[in-house]
């Protein structure tokens, strides 16, 4: 299989722009939702530009770069494509990748349920829309 580097580049750029936008919106929203009120202050890391960049790099690798490369390798043999393909792969990643780990962490460490739900909803939007972008761009 031949990977289209042009499509991969579009996926990476559009996915990165989306992640930056959603992270800015989600961080602003966090000020209005009391997600961290039950956390001890010494456990909450201050959100500064370095935190934002490191968070973006991690999310970019796992929500955009790796899925775009893998989707690029296999999109010709997948039984679905386009938006449906992106949603399907995104739901699969969310249900079998993010939720089990997050749930195990929640039961092992006493994390407030409000923060846990806020974190999962944010990850849901990030992974689903990132995969929809990738699936749509590869269907063009």
User: pLDDT tens digit string along 20-46?
Assistant: 999 999 888 888 887 777 677 777 778
Task: List the structure tokens of 8.
Answer: 């991969």
The pLDDT value given to residue 2: 63
Mean pLDDT over each residue of the chain, to the nearest integer: 83
Top-ranked range on mean pLDDT: pick from 2-11, 47-56, 102-111: 47-56
Q: Kindly list the distances between the CA atom of residue 99 and the CA atoms of 55, 81, 84, in Å, as whole numbers in the listed order.
A: 19, 24, 21
Q: How confident is the model at residue 78 (pLDDT cuts 50, 70, 90)?
A: low
Residue 69 CA to residue 129 CA, distance in Å, equals 16
Pick 117 or 15 by higher pLDDT. 15
Task: List the structure tokens of 11.
Answer: 């996926």
Note whether 127 and 94 are within 8 A (CB).
yes
Closest to 11 (Cα-Cα) out of 140, 127, 126, 130: 130
The pLDDT value given to residue 71: 79
Q: Tell me which residue range forms the domain holding 87.
A: 5-139
- Count the domains in the chain: 1
Other CB atoms within 10 A of residue 114 CB: 14
Q: How confident is the model at residue 48 (pLDDT cuts 50, 70, 90)?
A: confident
């Amino acid at each position: 299989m031949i990977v289209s580097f042009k499509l991969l580049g579009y996926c990476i750029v559009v996915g990165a722009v989306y992640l930056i936008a959603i992270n800015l919106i989600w961080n602003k929203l966090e000020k209005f939702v009391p997600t961290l009120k039950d956390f001890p202050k010494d456990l909450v890391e201050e959100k500064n530009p370095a935190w934002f960049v490191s968070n973006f790099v991690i999310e970019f690798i796992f929500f955009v770069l790796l899925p775009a490369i893998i989707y690029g390798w296999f999109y010709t043999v997948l039984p679905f494509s386009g938006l449906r393909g992106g949603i399907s792969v995104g739901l699969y990643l969310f249900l079998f990748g993010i939720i089990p780990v997050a749930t195990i962490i929640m039961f092992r460490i006493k994390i407030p349920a409000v923060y846990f739900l806020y974190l999962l909803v944010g990850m849901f939007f990030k992974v689903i829309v990132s995969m929809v972008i990738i699936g749509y761009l590869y269907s063009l």
